Amino acid sequence: MKPLAKYVFVTGGVVSGLGKGVLTASLGCLLRARGVAVTLQKIDPYLNVDAGTINPYEHGEVFVTNDGLETDLDIGHYERFLDQDLGHANYLTTGQVYWSVIQRERRGDYLGRTVQVIPHVTEEIKARMRRALEATGSEVVVVEVGGTVGDIEGLPYLEAIRQMRDELPREDVAVVHLAYVPILSTTGELKTKPTQHSVKELRAAGIQPDFIVARCPVPLPENLRRKIALFCDVPVEHVIEDRDLPSIYEVPLFLADEGFDLKLLRRLDLSHKDSDLRAWHDFVRRLKNSEGHVRIAVVGKYVELHDAYLSIVEALRHAGAALGMQVEIQWVPAERVEKEGEKALAGVQGILVPGGFGERGIEGKVWAADYARRQKIPFFGICLGMQVAAIAFARHVLGRKNANSTEFDAHTRDPVIDLLPEQKKIQEKGGTMRLGAYPAELTPGTRVHAAYGLPRIAERHRHRYEFNLDYLEDFVRAGFIPAAFSPDGRLVEALELREHPWYVAVQFHPEFQSRPLRPHPLFLSFLRACSSS
């Protein structure tokens, strides 16, 4: 028998930022809870080949998959809600699509023909949607079309969806359209007209949605559901309320109360089990009701933009919920630490320095890493955070006053952080860092080893620079010891201070693997130390 292959498309209308990524992730969570083999796919209709070259001011954090793709932060939501590792097959951009089509044209695969958006680009898009199912062995893929209907960039994707609706049996394709029902501040009324207009736009592309998900700030009254149903030509039961909620993790539970999962499964003619969301419920309860409290400073360059550190925030929340504490994040701009020193970090129980690039704010981060060492405040350095901890240690403990990373001072006398010879040769910026999951061996007797309880781990990376082994002996002698190495022993993957309550710095990004129901061991260990300090 041919395996099932069903497609759910999620489009968005009216405005961006309605939570299409969280809606898609929630559908994944709900279908999985009913025993459906489901995967998720994000389409980013921009020309960048991946998200790696886009700065966080544009789209927030760059998320990294196990197989080393730099993606939009929605893939992070997907992994967390679905509890599944995703990869290349789950993320596509217009850059990738055109890249393949143009390469094929150069090879001569279309010889004699004019290469066009329809059918060549749309065929490539459809092939990539099928690949998401094949690569993950799933029977359903929920595909999120980034952007808003009506965007020029989105047109080829809408056309591909239109074609699939024609080509496949009716029960194999469903379209979910997320729109906004705003409240008019002058009269306090909810307005459905923007939703109606966005559905009109979708219809102009030849697509009639099956479900309208109405994002609204307050409960959606029955008469408005009926109005949306009538004007948008969907059954009233297919108008789903998506109310503003205090936490994104409540969205699947809210949608389940709306019966969305069952309605969608019925529309897809799929058999299913009873839903098992007990563990998720339990997690949400702990997230909201935990009584403990801990305040953590996150010292970074883009702190005014919290999405730039989204996975770190989520990892802290997951671990906090598991330990019964609310994690309050104090966002501290690294440049403020440069000016104010101690004052910028007053009253925190832990300091976390996340990943980053470029020189701005570096001295503030180095200062924070050194302050945490001196004051015995729990410290967690991640990627760039490990590099600044190494710089601080070299300067202030080893007395190498000018120690630096060659990323910030190409001619430093003490390059404690440097490029490997193979990285020095690389000229192009896109996709050339050390990316994706790599194994590491843990040093017995270290905190890191105790936290994982494993001899060997795999964690995701996204960096060019590495700890310089020439300095390792000096570091070890002075008490900053390697807690993890690459299996070939060439790369130091984690360092920790011997004489300190909790001072751990890792070259990888543990936050990418934290899941609501499987909090990351290092985040758990860090928060435990913070709450007892």
The residues that touch ligand GLN, with contacts defined as CB under 6 A, are 355-357, 383-384, 407, 462-465
What separation in angstroms does the CA of 173 have from each of 42, 122, 167, 169?
17, 16, 10, 7
The answer to whether residues 279 and 313 touch, using CB atoms and an 8 Å cutoff, is no
CA 193, CA 176: separation in Å to the nearest integer? Answer: 18
Residue number with the smallest Cβ distance to ligand GLN: 355
What separation in angstroms does the CA of 350 have from each of 294, 295, 353, 354?
8, 7, 10, 13
CB of 466 to ligand GLN, least distance (A): 7
CA 337, CA 408: separation in Å to the nearest integer? Answer: 18
Is 383 labeled as catalytic in the residue annotation? yes
Question: Based on CB atoms, which residue is closest to ligand GLN, 147 or 354?
Answer: 354
CB neighbours of residue 254 within 10 Å: 15
Retrieve residue 230's tokens: 């009538």
The answer to whether residues 336 and 300 touch, using CB atoms and an 8 Å cutoff, is no
Question: Based on CB atoms, which residue is closest to ligand GLN, 133 or 386?
Answer: 386
Q: Given its phi and psi angles, is residue 272 left (phi above 0), alpha (psi -120 to 50 degrees) or beta?
A: beta
Catalytic residue among 61, 201, 496, 511: 511
Question: Based on CB atoms, which residue is closest to ligand GLN, 297 or 389?
Answer: 389
CB of 67 to ligand GLN, least distance (A): 17
Catalytic residue among 383, 459, 493, 530: 383
* DSSP state letter for 309: G
Separation of first and last alpha carbons in the chain: 60
| 241 three-state secondary structure | strand
Question: Based on CB atoms, which residue is closest to ligand GLN, 52 or 252?
Answer: 52
Q: Is the peptide bond before 119 cis (omega within 30 degrees of 0)?
A: yes
Question: Based on CB atoms, which residue is closest to ligand GLN, 227 or 365?
Answer: 365
Q: Select from 32, 37, 128 the least CA-distant residue to 80.
A: 32
Catalytically active residues are 383, 509, 511
